[in-house]
């Protein structure tokens, strides 16, 4: 387990180092999504928490909580995907010897913004499904069983887990200017022809999130929520939700960033025969492996 966690940390820091390759301003492409998402969460959503949890109708309370979380999921996903696409344009130009400015990267991203919205809707709806299972059944089903079922169905129908298809979509939309649905089918073709079917990522930051974000939620956020609901303390409720919002935003922003840069490296290796993104030359050729 220790080796897995250390490997995940190394991969995380190596991916963050890529942000400085095209320009010293690369950090803005994860910093801005974080700042904007935090402002929306704390200024736009958090003030509604006392109102939602003062409702006497528990069914209505649950529905409004789900809606609040979906707004957060969609907003963070959309903002992250937009800035990740802009960074991929910037990075691609740098690697091809045709550097562009950050402004040009953002302008190019606006041209595919409709597909980024559709792509973000799909990603956030999947998260919404998991959330509904969490709130109506239990955390084990919502966090573990439901994702496994969805991935198994996807493997049976398309040969690949849905997460791998979605992660590869953005690099393809940026590199080949394809619409979302065509990009997803193209992702399946690229990955299966190069690495096979029924795969998983060889590298990801899931272990990093497990040892950092999960304790933040389960050891601090949820206990504060429970104490706030039991004692009717709005301050504890707000603090609990603030921690959960923070955990969701951090995990969403960094997971999307690392997964999409990783998929971009795999795309360049498979389609263009180039292995020029990570300093560790073994990462892109071994991006995916047979799932256990």
The answer to whether 211 and 5 have CB atoms below 8 angstroms apart is yes
* pLDDT (0 to 100) of residue 137: 62
Q: State the burial class of residue 6 (Cβ atoms within 10 Å of its Cβ: 0-12, 13-18, 19+).
A: exposed
Q: Give me the DSSP letters along 121-176.
A: HHHHHHHHHHHHHHHHT-HHIIIIIHHHHHHHHHHHHHSS-HHHHHHHHHHHHHHH
* pLDDT (0 to 100) of residue 138: 59
Listed range (89-93, 143-147, 217-221) with the worst mean pLDDT: 143-147
Residue from 130, 137, 190, 135 nearest 160 by CA: 190
Helix 2-18 and helix 206-215: axis angle, to 10°? 100
- Token output for 138: 């239990």
Q: Rounded to an integer, what distance in angstroms lies between the CA atom of residue 156 and that of residue 136?
A: 27
Look at the alpha carbons of 173, 179, 181, 185 in this order and tell me if their dihedral is positive or negative. Answer: negative
Residue 201 pairs in a beta bridge with: 288
Q: Rounded to an integer, what distance in angstroms lies between the CA atom of residue 46 and that of residue 242?
A: 7
SS3 assignment, position 291: coil
* pLDDT (0 to 100) of residue 139: 60
Q: Which residues contact 235 (CB under 8 A, 6 or more apart)?
A: 228
Mean pLDDT of the chain: 87
**pLDDT of 186 strictly over 60:** yes
b/e sequence 231-254, b meaning 16+ C-beta within 10 Å: eeeeebbbbbbbbbbbbbbbbbbb
* pLDDT (0 to 100) of residue 254: 93
Q: Is the pTM of this model over 0.85?
A: yes
Q: What percent of the chain has pLDDT over 90?
A: 46
* pLDDT (0 to 100) of residue 203: 87
* pLDDT (0 to 100) of residue 235: 85
Four-point Cα dihedral 21, 26, 29, 30, nearest 10? 90
Question: Residues 233-278: pLDDT tens digits?
Answer: 788 888 989 999 999 999 999 999 999 999 999 999 999 999 989 9
Banded pLDDT at 22 (limits 50, 70, 90): low
Question: Residues 24-38: pLDDT tens digits?
Answer: 566 777 788 999 999
Question: Residues 95-142: pLDDT tens digits?
Answer: 888 888 888 889 999 999 999 999 999 999 888 887 777 666 656 555
Terminal-residue alpha carbon distance, the chain = 16
Listed range (49-53, 74-78, 208-212) with the worst mean pLDDT: 49-53
* pLDDT (0 to 100) of residue 135: 63
């Amino acid at each position: 387990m220790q080796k897995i966690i250390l490997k995940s940390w190394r991969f995380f820091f190596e991916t963050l180092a890529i942000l400085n390759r095209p320009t010293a301003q690369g950090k803005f492409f994860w910093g801005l999504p974080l700042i904007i998402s935090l402002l929306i969460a704390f200024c736009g959503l958090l003030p509604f928490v006392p109102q939602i949890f003062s409702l006497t109708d528990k069914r209505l309370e649950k529905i409004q909580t789900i809606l609040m979380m979906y707004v957060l999921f969609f907003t963070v996903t959309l903002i992250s995907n937009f800035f990740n696409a802009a960074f991929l344009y910037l990075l691609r130009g740098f690697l091809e010897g045709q550097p562009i400015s950050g402004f040009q990267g953002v302008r190019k991203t606006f041209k595919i913004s409709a597909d980024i919205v559709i792509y973000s809707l799909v990603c956030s709806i999947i998260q919404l499904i998991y959330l509904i299972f969490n709130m109506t059944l239990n955390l084990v089903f919502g966090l573990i069983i439901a994702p496994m079922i969805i991935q198994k169905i996807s493997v049976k129908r398309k040969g690949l887990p849905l997460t791998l298809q979605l992660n590869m979509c953005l690099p393809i939309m940026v590199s080949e200017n394809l619409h979302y649905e065509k990009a997803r089918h193209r992702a399946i073709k690229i990955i299966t022809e190069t690495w096979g079917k029924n795969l998983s990522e060889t590298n990801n930051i899931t272990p990093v999130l497990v040892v950092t974000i999960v304790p933040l939620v389960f050891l601090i956020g949820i206990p504060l929520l429970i104490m706030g609901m039991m004692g009717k303390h709005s301050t504890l409720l707000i603090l609990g939700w603030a921690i959960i919002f923070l955990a969701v935003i951090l995990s969403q922003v960094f997971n999307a960033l690392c997964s999409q840069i990783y998929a971009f490296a795999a795309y360049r290796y498979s389609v263009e025969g180039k292995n020029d993104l990570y300093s560790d030359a073994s990462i892109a050729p071994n991006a995916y492996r047979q799932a256990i």
